[in-house]
Structure 1
Amino acid sequence: MRRSAPTLTDVARLAGVSEITVSRVVRNKGSIAETTRVRVQEAIVKLGYVPNRAAGALASAGAPLIGVLLPSLSNIVFPEVLRGIHTALASTGYQPLIGVTDYDPVKEQELLSSLLAWQPAAIITTGFEHTDATRRMLADSRVRVAELMDIDAEPIDIAVGLSQRRAGFDAGRHLIGRGYRRFGYVGHDWNADHRARLRYEGVRAALAEADLGLTAEERFDGPSSTMAGRKTLAALLSWEPDLDVVVFSNDDMAVGGFFHCLGANISVGRELGLFGFNGLDIGQVLPLPLSTIRSHRFDIGRIAVEKLLESSRRPEEKLIVDTGYEIIAGATA
């Protein structure tokens, strides 16, 4: 049985204060002792309570809402997902409310609380890495929920995406089949991008199956970028130059690695193979098209909306939609 959503009364009872006090804290109105405010806020987080602002101006305007939480809009992957979402919503009358989490689970929690306060018809979020409070709010709410990009865990309602671990495994197996034996890895911050770590684990599993391993690896302590890829490959090759191929956490990093090779007079594809992930256009317009895996990002956003709007009620059986991926042979590996 699904629990009913916590109420203002529940918060007041747990915090040991009146309902009026809870209301003042939620609305940030009136004089409240700091210790009381903290106690109420802790109760709100513990219960996953979401205030109902649906009677406000936005709801009265008659626009049904879909909440969308994405980790980034500077990474081209997620604008493509958003384009799929917009395309699917175009003829429905629903309007998206968009929040950007910057890969921060606590920020996702705060944004989700704000979105749920408007009583949206559905919430679209990214991945399965939520705080406990976020998971409670999503699980206890009556709205439909779609978690995108990954299908390697059990969703709250619907998951739409691909197996990141399997994609990494297939990349490793593809490169082994191409004759590579001395593998390097260049990545970025795993704390921010859990899906990159899943792909890394998949590559390692494929190598282990062939009695191989990573000869060397280097990770950039920050988000992915072409500059990070260039610098990190340079650092890796400075202490381990004898590699056959380098697998990158994504195409941004791999494109940066390609530019390092150009500057260092390393013949890509002959002296050193490079392999990315995502299948971005920028990788395919390099002098040598990037060898990579293409994910179907537009379809992920579109299918998520279509599945969410099939029913306003969350079904008992959870749904996983595998949008798959394809290996692009390219010319760099």
Structure 2
Amino acid sequence: MTDPTKRPLTLRDVSEASGVSEMTVSRVLRNKGDVSAVTREKVQNAAKRLGYVPNKIAGALASQQVNLVAVIIPSLGNMVFPEVLSGISSVLESTELQPVVGVTDYLPEKEEKVLFDMLSWRPAGVIIAGLEHSEASRAMLRQADIPVIEIMDVDGEPIDTCVGISHRRAGRKMAEAIIEAGYRKIGFMGTKMPLDHRARKRFEGFTRTLAQSGIEIADQEFYSGGSALAKGREMTQAMLERSPDLDFLYYSNDMIGAGGLLYLQETGRKIPDDIGLAGFNAVELLEGLSLRLATMDACRREIGQRAAEVIVERHMGVKDHETTISLKPKQQPGDTLIRKT
């Protein structure tokens, strides 16, 4: 949260924290001059601990800020985030603010680098996916003294403001629908956790709700990388060969769910009577399938819009604002989850 009493960090702060002269600190942070590896490491560790980011526009602008909004997301290949970006752009296009995008590939160390580079240009605000960050990233975000909007998730404490859905609630609601429909032998397929924190939280909400009804996950499998459709087919085949008596398959996203659906149809399984399945995200691209996958709309475009609106309001000087903006995911039973009449 922007703090009017906060003093910007300077080279002197890094100098004092590292026990190295300001001139040497400057050389290290600009990657100039001959500095020993030991001294370089001292300076870099001190800067990281403090959350210090050099100002690339110092002296160039009277406002010491540019009309850019740093948008930091884990992936452009994932179909979720282009829709979020569309929501952000739809709000910012009528303002003087322009989004600039950085991608982290779900890697904490890459997020640190992207943040460091973007914050050095002193953007008007940051929109960043997720609530989980490394200590170095959190330090930079706290010291930035600009609006920081964490998106996609509200299960945790934001640095400033968060906009998203409760993924634990989303997992719980899907489990409740599956239980109500009468399924009991359930398999789960998803991305490798813990790096995908939101998938992990959905899994936690899902399994906890099943446990309350005396149901345990009968089989599970995780993947990372590769074509989601192909992975969905491969994992579904492998799981059903191991556990042929499963009567429901829950996928952490729609794309692997669609791969599983195609495999089940090819092998003649009756859906949803013999076996049901569900995914997550309500991906519009899949609406052309012969069966509509049961899923949950995660409010992606609305999340982008609300986050951008907060940035615009804060840029215009509005001080009072919610710290948590929680949207409700919408369940869609489709054709692959038995509906009670």
Q: TM over 0.5: same fold?
A: yes
Matched, 1:328 2:332: yes
Contact between 2:66 and 2:121, CA under 8 Å: does it hold in 1? no
TM-score, with structure 2 as normaliser: 0.92
Contact between 2:294 and 2:336, CA under 8 Å: does it hold in 1? yes
* Residue segments in structure 1 that go unaligned for 5+ positions in a row: none
Matched, 1:250 2:237: no
**2:98 aligned partner:** 95
Q: 2:296 aligns with which of 264, 288, 293?
A: 293
**2:160 aligned partner:** 157
CA deviation after TM superposition for structure 1 residue 113, in Å: 1.0
Seen in structure 2, the aligned counterparts of structure 1 residues 287 and 207 have a Cα distance that, compared at 3 Å, is: same
CA deviation after TM superposition for structure 1 residue 60, in Å: 9.7
| 2:218 alignment partner, SS class | strand
**2:191 aligned partner:** 188
RMSD: 2.2
Seen in structure 2, the aligned counterparts of structure 1 residues 67 and 251 have a Cα distance that, compared at 3 Å, is: same
Matched, 1:198 2:198: no
Moved more, 6-15 or 99-108: 6-15
Give, as a single letter, the amino acid of the residue that structure 1 aligns with 2:138.
R
Looking at structure 1, the residues matched to 87 and 28 of structure 2 have their Cα atoms a distance apart, in angstroms, of: 38
Q: 2:27 aligns with which of 17, 24, 27?
A: 24
| 1:270 alignment partner, SS class | coil
**2:53 aligned partner:** 50
Task: Give the percent of matched residue pairs that are identical in Structure 1 and Structure 2.
Answer: 42
**1:139 aligned partner:** 142
User: Runs of 4+ in structure 1 displaced over 6 angstroms?
Assistant: 56-62
Seen in structure 2, the aligned counterparts of structure 1 residues 223 and 314 have a Cα distance that, compared at 3 Å, is: farther
CA deviation after TM superposition for structure 1 residue 266, in Å: 2.1
Q: 1:172 aligns with which of 175, 188, 211?
A: 175
Looking at structure 2, the residues matched to 116 and 153 of structure 1 have their Cα atoms a distance apart, in angstroms, of: 24
CA deviation after TM superposition for structure 1 residue 268, in Å: 2.5
Give, as a single letter, the amino acid of the residue that structure 2 aligns with 1:254.
G
Contact between 1:146 and 1:158, CA under 8 Å: does it hold in 2? yes
Looking at structure 1, the residues matched to 285 and 45 of structure 2 have their Cα atoms a distance apart, in angstroms, of: 46
Give, as a single letter, the amino acid of the residue that structure 1 aligns with 2:297.
R
**1:217 aligned partner:** 220
Contact between 1:225 and 1:256, CA under 8 Å: does it hold in 2? yes
TM-score, with structure 1 as normaliser: 0.94
Moved more, 307-316 or 119-128: 307-316
Aligned length: 333
**1:282 aligned partner:** 285
* Residue segments in structure 2 that go unaligned for 5+ positions in a row: none
Seen in structure 2, the aligned counterparts of structure 1 residues 112 and 223 have a Cα distance that, compared at 3 Å, is: farther
**1:113 aligned partner:** 116
**1:310 aligned partner:** 313
